[in-house]
């Protein structure tokens, strides 16, 4: 069961954070080049719906893993929890900012109708996403270390028995 849980954690992080990285580094520039800012913005308004939904599922799964991983390092466990809280707070902020950004667009989310506050709010959305991504990168690193430590501790316990 531990292997399955870890596999699911890795897959969710890859889809969620890998999807964010691929989308921002590849899809947005190509979409903007082919469709312009308005066309790409319309696509992004919909794609972020999916990224935010995956984020909720991933955060719930990460919290479960935090509860079930017996990391012998209290400091690392506390750091993982702090990073999880940061990612969750960012996720809440992203939901809020997404709703605000949509309120500046037409009902079909194709055109920005209220331009002046849209771009500064969008910049905050991008920075929030970036902070979340960085927190999740560090979380992933610490998670791999916690799993390894748990496995080493478990093997040592079995060897003594």
- Split into its structural domains, the chain has a count of 1
pLDDT given at position 161: 74
- Write out pLDDT tens, residues 42-58: 899 899 999 999 999 99
What does the mean pLDDT of the chain come to?
Answer: 94
Using the predicted structure, report yes or no on whether residue 33 has a pLDDT greater than 90: yes
- Write out pLDDT tens, residues 144-156: 999 999 999 989 8
Domain coverage including residue 128: 2-160
Is the model's pTM score more than 0.95?
no
Please, which residues have CB within 8 angstroms of residue 27's CB and are 6 or more apart in sequence? 43, 47
Q: What is the pLDDT confidence band of residue 4, given thresholds at 50, 70 and 90?
A: very high
Q: How many CA atoms lie within 13 A of 68 on its CB side?
A: 13
């Amino acid at each position: 069961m531990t292997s399955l849980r870890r596999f699911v954690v890795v897959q969710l992080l890859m889809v969620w954070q890998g999807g964010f990285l691929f989308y921002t580094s590849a899809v947005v520039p190509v979409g903007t080049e082919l469709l312009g800012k308005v066309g790409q913005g319309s696509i992004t308004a919909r794609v972020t719906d999916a990224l935010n939904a995956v984020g909720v599922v991933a955060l719930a799964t990460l919290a479960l893993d935090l509860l079930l991983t017996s990391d012998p390092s209290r400091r690392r466990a506390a750091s993982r929890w702090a990073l999880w809280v940061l990612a969750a707070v960012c996720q809440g902020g992203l939901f809020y900012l997404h709703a605000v950004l949509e309120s500046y667009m037409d009902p079909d989310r194709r055109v920005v109708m209220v331009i002046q506050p849209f771009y500064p709010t969008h910049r905050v959305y991008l920075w929030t996403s970036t902070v979340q991504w960085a927190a999740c990168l560090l979380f992933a690193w610490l998670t791999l270390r916690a799993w390894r430590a748990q496995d080493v501790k478990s093997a040592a316990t079995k060897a003594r028995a």
